[in-house]
Amino acid sequence: MTVSRIGILGAGTMGRGIAQVAALGGYETRLYDAFPAAAEEAATKLREALAKGAARGRWSEAEGDEASNRIGPALAIGELAGCELLIEAAPEDVELKRRLFADAAAVCGPETILASNTSSLRIADIAAGVPGPERVVGMHFFNPPVLMKLVEVVAAERSSARALATATKVAVGMGRTPIQARDTPGFVANRLARPFSLESLRMLGDGVADAATIDRVVRLGGGFRMGPFELIDLIGLDVNLTIARSFFAQGGGPERWRPSPIQERLVAEGKLGRKSGQGYYPYAEGSGREPDPELGIAAPTLDPEQLTRIDPAAGEILPRLFAQIANEAALALEEEIASPADMETATRLGLNWPIGPLGITELIGASQAVGLLERLQREKGAAYAPAPLLISNISSSG
């Protein structure tokens, strides 16, 4: 199916970002919002952003002008008629998303593909009650869409091959890198990232080290751009906690996904991270954190001598984190949420990880990961139960 016109349902930050990459990709783009003034304002801001991007050399002036001419507001949902693809970028409310798709389906033809940018809701739940659920897919962009190259194309049980192929082709046309994902909690990147915050919080609760030490070890020993607590403060503790609760509920309450009581307490106290001035670090005026001069100087390592030079606790912090990442990757492979190659792409492009979870598994080794997990399971419980696939990798690699 050929797509020449795309409608964006929702003129907020994500909707504007998706509209920008759509217009730059050569697609006629219409922004719709329940508040017409918001759609008009978003179209104006996008034209300004495209002009600024050209001035900064991100694209040529001609490319910016052409993209600007492709963007326009849709002041009523009927103006989306003629769009071959609609991408919904509304708040994470399943009823709202269903209603938007139902309204759009009433004015667009039965061939129109309906794609949701949800990051936490099941595509099947959104498609329920929408005429032609086989045309509903997920197109999960990462924030900000103009910089982040990953798009998770999510297949619900009833999503058609035609709809999935169309979404994939359009993602490529927008200059993004699509991967194929099953309709499971968190899809691919966010699912594989669960241990990054949850295991770090468990180590904090266990007294392995304080937040600043864990962050420093993860940056310098793990090669990550940000430590877990720096990242949570940036995202917002409340947002991160909401995601954790959603995973825990949708996954049936697995112990490894249980939300952290530390985070529950801090959110209850109003310590939400950068936006509130206090999270795991203070952000009041005059007390902002200085950049670490050693940020990003090291590649991922589990060499004991190198880790000891970072901090005495590093030899426990990084193996625990890497073992849990390897375990989550093995469980995800067992569930076939995505291909191994797409899992690696998801974490590198969607999360800016230095290496993917399978690379981390190779670095720590299945034997070391399982041995550590089994010890922690005996000491701390089911959150550390090793995946059968990880266990089987010991004999297959031996």
Q: What is the pLDDT of residues 330-339, one digit of tens each?
A: 999 999 999 9
- Across the chain, the runs of DSSP E, i.e. the strands, are 5-9, 28-32, 71-74, 85-88, 113-116, 136-141, 150-155, 177-182
Span(s) in the chain for CATH 1.10.1040.50: 190-397
Q: Are 29 and 71 in contact (CB under 8 A)?
A: yes
Q: If one looks up domain 5-183 in CATH, what number appears?
A: 3.40.50.720
- pLDDT surpassing 70 at residue 287: no
* Gap between the Cα atoms of 269 and 102, Å rounded: 40
- Selecting among 140, 159, 199, 246, the annotated active-site residue is 140
Q: Tell me the pLDDT tens digit for each residue of 178-200.
A: 999 999 999 999 999 999 999 99
pLDDT in the model for residue 129? 83
- pLDDT surpassing 60 at residue 140: yes
- Selecting among 88, 152, 199, 344, the annotated active-site residue is 152
Average pLDDT, the chain: 94
140 assigned to active site: yes
152 assigned to active site: yes
Q: Tell me the pLDDT tens digit for each residue of 28-47.
A: 999 999 999 999 999 999 99
Determine if the pTM surpasses 0.95: no
- Selecting among 117, 190, 240, 327, the annotated active-site residue is 190
Q: If one looks up domain 190-397 in CATH, what number appears?
A: 1.10.1040.50
Span(s) in the chain for CATH 3.40.50.720: 5-183
* Gap between the Cα atoms of 59 and 7, Å rounded: 23
Q: Are 158 and 134 in contact (CB under 8 A)?
A: yes
Residue 285's pLDDT band (boundaries 50, 70, 90)?
low
Residue 297's pLDDT band (boundaries 50, 70, 90)?
very low
- pLDDT surpassing 90 at residue 394: no
pLDDT in the model for residue 289? 57
pLDDT in the model for residue 292? 54
Please list the residues that pair with 372 across neighbouring strands.
Answer: none
pLDDT in the model for residue 221? 95
